[in-house]
Amino acid sequence: MIKLSQPSISEEAISRVADILRSGQLVYGKECLDFERELAEFLGVRHALVVSSGTAALHVALLALGVGAGDAVIVPDFTFAATANIVEMTGARTVIVDVDPVTYNMDPTKLETLVESWDYPEHLKAIMPVLEFGNPSGIEKYREIADRHGLFLVEDAACAMGAHNSAGKIGTFGDFGCFSFHPRKTLTTGEGGLIVTSSDKYAEKADLLRNHGMKRTDQGMSFKMPGLNYRLTNFQAAIGRDFLSRLPSYLKKRFTLAKSYEIELGGLLEAGMILLPRIQEGHSCQTYMIKLQGNLCRNQLIDDMRAKGVETNLGAQSMSRLGLFTHVANSKQIFTVGADLFENGLALPLHEAMSIDDVRLVCSSLSEALMRR
Ligand SMILES: Cc1ncc(COP(=O)(O)O)c(C=O)c1O
């Protein structure tokens, strides 16, 4: 079976995890601190704080910025539910903006229109764009809109570890950048996440929030504020450190595979059966999702390809279609692009252990399955 995704855990990482397990030093400690230092260096950012998941990273970021009841936060329509869920979990309300059909990221023009016409009772506090599947598009425009309107920018860069544009790495444009280390991401620790910021003040707050509001002082533990336990473990950090050392070559491989998909799928594109995503330089290629055109039954296609040994799936959800986020602003907008991507998106296998021959096999099985429709 060619799997959608398959984390490459090296023998070195396994052996390092075993050493840490034998040492008994399991919870957040030196291995996590070393991992944070290496991540800050890799991203070129002042503060990198590891946490237990990408969801935890988003939660801590919003809490550190003071987002809560009476506030509203803007998220894209096409993403994983965690992006919008976490806004609601702070007590704030989720406001949705439709996405671009080729980059799958929040549409900057629609974002600007919504921000400029905001007249709802909630205080519009933050924009939380998703760099969907690792596409860096739009980040500078989101920053500019946030700055012009006095809003915070929190990057949901869950899928975008290693993504960049000419101005810098994704995750470093926002007041906070938040990453996921789930096994489907470009860097994994099993479960895990990362918060980055260049602000000393926000870093200090985030550090307290992820660890019971505690700070170790010469006098012992000092409790500064109410907090959570979102700590990563040392053995997870060991997996992450090994992954990080291999990440540049893994990202290159992912990019090459995505470009091979573009070539191999050219015929189906020309035949009008599918649309392809834009894969530009700096894309982390966490997922390669095409869009099916016309009335093709995606579930049947997924079953047919599975029978041929190829695992595929839908790409992400449409927040407006979930029916969970009921802010009045959401009922006044139309979310055609996000809904279309939700209903017709097809994620194809993409991970660093694949070969170009695997890509060809995926494409021929897709082609055969489509021709049977
Ligand atoms: C865009 C996005 N945001 C947030 C998350 C949540 O990350 P985690 O699963 O690590 O909590 C995910 C995970 O899939 C995601 O894709």
Number of continuous H segments (helices) and E segments (strands) in the chain = 14, 16
Q: Are residues 69 and 189 in the same domain?
A: yes
Q: How many domains does the chain have?
A: 2
78 and 64 in a common domain: yes
How many whole angstroms from 137 Cα to the centroid of ligand 1?
Answer: 19
Domain extent, residue 198, equals 11-97+106-242
Same domain, 207 and 189: yes
Provide the pLDDT for residue 83.
98
Within this chain, do residues 128 and 266 fall inside the same structural domain, yes or no?
Answer: no
Tell me the pLDDT tens digit for each residue of 347-363.
Answer: 999 999 999 999 999 99
Q: Is residue 198 part of a domain?
A: yes
Task: Tell whether 143 is covered by a domain.
Answer: yes
**What does 274-333 look like in DSSP terms, one character per residue?**
EE-----TT---S-EEEEE-SS--HHHHHHHHHHTTB--B---EEHHHHT----HHHHTS
Residue 205, helix vs strand vs coil:
helix
> Are 238 and 252 members of one domain?
no
Please indicate, yes or no, whether residues 359 and 334 belong to a single structural domain of this protein: yes
Q: Judge contact between 127 and 74, C-beta under 8 A.
A: yes
Dist. CA 370 → ligand 1 center (Å): 31
pLDDT at 94: 98
pLDDT digits (tens, 9 = 90+) for 190-227: 999 999 999 999 999 999 999 999 998 888 999 999 99
Per-residue CA distances from 180 to 56, 103, 312 (Å): 9, 20, 21
DSSP code of residue 44: T
- Give the per-residue pLDDT at 349: 98
Q: What is the C-alpha end-to-end distance of the chain, expressed in Å?
A: 23
- Does a structural domain hold residue 2? no
Question: Residue 261, class by beta-carbon neighbours within 10 Å (0-12 exposed, 13-18 middle, 19+ buried)?
Answer: buried
Using an 8 Å Cβ cutoff, are 7 and 160 in contact?
no
* Per-residue pLDDT tens over the stretch 243-286: 999 999 999 999 999 999 999 999 999 999 999 999 999 999 99
Based on the fold, state whether residues 113 and 235 are members of the same structural domain.
yes
Distance CA 206, CA 128 (A): 17
**146 alpha carbon to ligand 1 midpoint, in Å?**
23
Q: Which atom of ligand 1 is nearest to the CA of 57?
A: 11
The CATH number given to whatever domain includes residue 66 is 3.40.640.10
- The pTM assigned to this predicted structure is 0.98
Q: Say yes or no: 195 and 259 in one domain.
A: no
295 pLDDT more than 90 = no
User: Does an H or E element contain 220, and which?
Assistant: strand 220-223
Residue among 80, 99, 210 to mutate when testing ligand 1 (max atoms within 8 A of CB): 80
Residue 333's domain is classified under what CATH number? Answer: 3.90.1150.10
Q: How many beta carbons lie within 10 A of that of residue 22, not counting itself?
A: 8
Ligand 1 atom nearest to CA at 193:
10
Domain end (from 221, 242, 263)? 242
Distances (CA, A) of 15 to 144, 235, 250: 46, 10, 21
Ligand 1 pocket at CB < 6 A: 53-55, 79-80, 82-83, 130, 156, 158-159, 180, 182, 193
Q: Is residue 55, in this structure, part of any structural domain at all? A: yes
Cα dihedral 143, 146, 151, 153 sign: negative
Please identify which residue in the block is written with the tokens 């595929």: 312
- Note whether residue 6 is domain-resident: no
Which of 218, 242, 266 is a domain's end point?
242
pLDDT tens for 8-62 read 999 999 999 999 999 999 999 999 999 999 999 999 999 999 999 999 999 999 9
pLDDT in the model for residue 167:
96
Give distance in angstroms: CA of 343 to centre of ligand 1: 20
Which residue, 217, 242, 267, sits at the end of a domain?
A: 242
pLDDT above 90 for 373: no
**Same domain for 54 and 180?**
yes
Instruction: Kindly state whether residues 153 and 267 are assigned to the same domain.
Output: no
Does 211 map to a domain?
yes
Nearest CA residue ID for atom 14, ligand 1: 80
Measured in angstroms, how far is the CA atom of residue 182 from the centroid of ligand 1? 7
The answer to whether residues 274 and 223 belong to one domain is no
Ligand 1, atom 8: nearest CA belongs to which residue?
A: 54
CA of 341 to the centre of ligand 1 (A): 18
Ramachandran assignment for 337, one of left (phi > 0), alpha (psi -120 to 50 degrees), beta (any other):
alpha
